[in-house]
Amino acid sequence: KLGSTVFAPVKMDFVGNIKKIHQKLVSNPDGFPTLQSIVLSEVQMNLAQVRNSATEALLWLRRGLKFLKEFLSEVNAGEQDIQAALNNAYGKTLRQYHGWVVRGVFALALRAAPSYQNFTAALVSQEGDELRSDFTSSMHNDLGVYLPAMEKQLVILDELYEEYGLESDEVV
Which residue ranges form the domains of the chain, and what is each CATH number?
4-163 (1.10.3520.10)
Q: How confident is the model at residue 4 (pLDDT cuts 50, 70, 90)?
A: low
Of 171, 13, 9, 170, the C-alpha closest to 99 is: 171
Q: How confident is the model at residue 1 (pLDDT cuts 50, 70, 90)?
A: low
- Residue 104 and residue 86: Cα distance in Å, rounded? 14
Q: How far is CA 100 from CA 42, 65, 84, 96, 171, in A?
A: 31, 22, 20, 10, 10
* Model pTM score: 0.93
Q: How far is CA 61 from the centre of its chain?
A: 6
The C-alpha atoms of residue 45 and residue 165 are separated, in whole angstroms, by: 15
